[in-house]
């Protein structure tokens, strides 16, 4: 165990024994809310296929390369975009495949691939971060420090040409920074999450809002969700979130917050501190929260992680970064033109002679299971 973890254990144990959890929390003014990602470029931009911005480019030119969210104009409204990860049976990522190696079926009907982007690619991602008040400065500090640690390691993995935005949520989502390639701007946005004033955590509303904003970004896009998985008073239901995940263009990679806290106190005790307005939860609530993160990731073809100690974070961030850069972005225009609102199953097959250690590898495909068609 590293010194930082040992320190946190000691502080947490002493403070929870001798300090009331009703101790007031210092608050900082939250960043101003923004109603949407703001961009000035016309049309949709496939960011990770563009060359790096030259030294002589003007700010106007740079703005024209920004990824587009909800306000963009869709050029192919029936385009279905898949983020596809190919591995062998041991989990090793397979690179270098071409469009002819893939076959896509929608409800058992073969589809023609119209868009294909391979790796190594730059990434376009949004960090969706839960920041809420737990009512005790020690507990709040533990969650905030975990968020900071994730942000710092993630910043180290950013490359020139990557785009990242930050959305924080408590009672509602707030854009802390639009898409940026500036690591300092990204880290400053993450540091704005400091002792929040609100205790609500409306995960369902925030995730649907973020999925909606990323829906029209062409090519590979992801959401890194930093959350306990708990939801307090969202207007949207859990099923509505799953429906949005089924239609999502983005892949969700969820990192559970608070596993360290639960490991130290035990699920039952930790649940009592993780409620809203002194209304404690149960260990069952925490298990359901874990399942929320698990299913959101699974429905979009992503992964979920449950780190208990800070020492696990570098490996998790490295893994997410590798997976994001190793996915294939594949698009097709569905042959089913009905606007019936029904769920359509997707199956992706891959065929390639990949030799590993002298043997032909058995290839596995990971992507979302389908999507819900639009309806009039």
What 8-state DSSP symbol labels residue 135? S
Q: What token pair was written down for 208?
A: 């649907």
Domains (ranges, CATH) in the chain? Answer: 1-24+42-49+62-376 (3.40.50.410)
Residue holding tokens 């404690």?
A: 280
pLDDT, one tens digit per residue, over 68-116 is 544 332 334 578 888 898 988 877 888 889 999 999 999 999 999 998 9
Mean pLDDT of 324-338: 89
Residue holding tokens 């199953």?
A: 345
pLDDT at residue number 120:
67
Q: How far apart, in whole angstroms, are the C-alpha atoms of residue 270 and residue 261?
A: 7
Q: How far apart, in whole angstroms, are the C-alpha atoms of residue 235 and residue 204?
A: 8
**Three-class secondary structure of residue 224 per DSSP:** strand
Is the pTM above the cut of 0.75?
no
**Range among 75-89, 134-148, 216-230 with highest mean pLDDT value:** 216-230
With beta carbons less than 8 A apart as the criterion, state whether 84 and 348 touch.
yes
Q: Is the pLDDT of residue 55 over 80?
A: no
């Amino acid at each position: 165990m590293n010194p930082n973890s040992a320190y946190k254990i000691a502080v947490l144990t002493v403070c929870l024994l001798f300090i009331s959890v009703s101790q007031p929390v210092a608050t900082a003014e939250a960043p101003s809310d923004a109603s949407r990602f703001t961009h000035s470029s016309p049309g949709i931009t496939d960011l990770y296929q563009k060359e790096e911005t030259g030294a002589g480019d003007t700010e106007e030119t740079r703005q024209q390369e920004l990824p587009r969210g909800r306000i963009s104009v869709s050029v192919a409204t029936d385009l279905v975009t898949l983020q596809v990860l190919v591995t062998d049976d041991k989990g090793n990522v397979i690179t270098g495949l071409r469009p002819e190696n893939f076959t896509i079926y929608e409800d058992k009907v073969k589809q023609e691939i119209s868009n294909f982007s391979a790796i190594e690619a730059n990434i376009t991602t949004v960090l969706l971060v839960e920041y809420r008040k737990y009512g005790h400065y020690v507990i709040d500090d533990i969650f905030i420090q975990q968020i900071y640690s994730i942000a710092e390691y993630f910043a180290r993995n950013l490359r020139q040409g990557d785009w990242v935005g930050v959305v924080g949520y408590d009672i509602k989502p707030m854009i802390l920074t639009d898409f940026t390639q500036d690591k300092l701007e990204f880290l400053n946005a993450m540091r704005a999450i400091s002792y929040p004033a609100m205790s609500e955590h409306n995960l369902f509303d925030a995730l649907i809002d973020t999925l909606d904003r990323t829906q029209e970004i062409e090519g590979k896009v992801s959401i890194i969700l930093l959350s306990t998985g708990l939801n307090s008073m969202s207007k949207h239901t859990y099923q509505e979130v799953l429906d949005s995940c089924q239609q999502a263009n983005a892949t969700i990679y969820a990192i559970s917050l608070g596993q360290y806290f639960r490991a130290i106190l035990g699920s039952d005790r930790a649940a009592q501190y993780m409620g809203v307005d002194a209304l404690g939860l149960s260990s069952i609530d925490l298990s359901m929260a874990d399942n929320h993160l698990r299913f959101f990731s699974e429905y979009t073809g992503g992964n979920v992680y449950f780190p208990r100690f800070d020492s696990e974070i570098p490996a998790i961030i490295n893994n997410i970064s590798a997976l994001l850069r190793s996915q294939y972005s594949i698009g097709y225009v569905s042959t089913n033109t009905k606007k019936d609102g029904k769920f359509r199953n997707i199956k992706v097959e891959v065929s390639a002679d990949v030799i590993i250690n002298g043997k032909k590898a058995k290839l596995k495909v990971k992507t979302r299971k389908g999507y819900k068609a639009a309806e009039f």
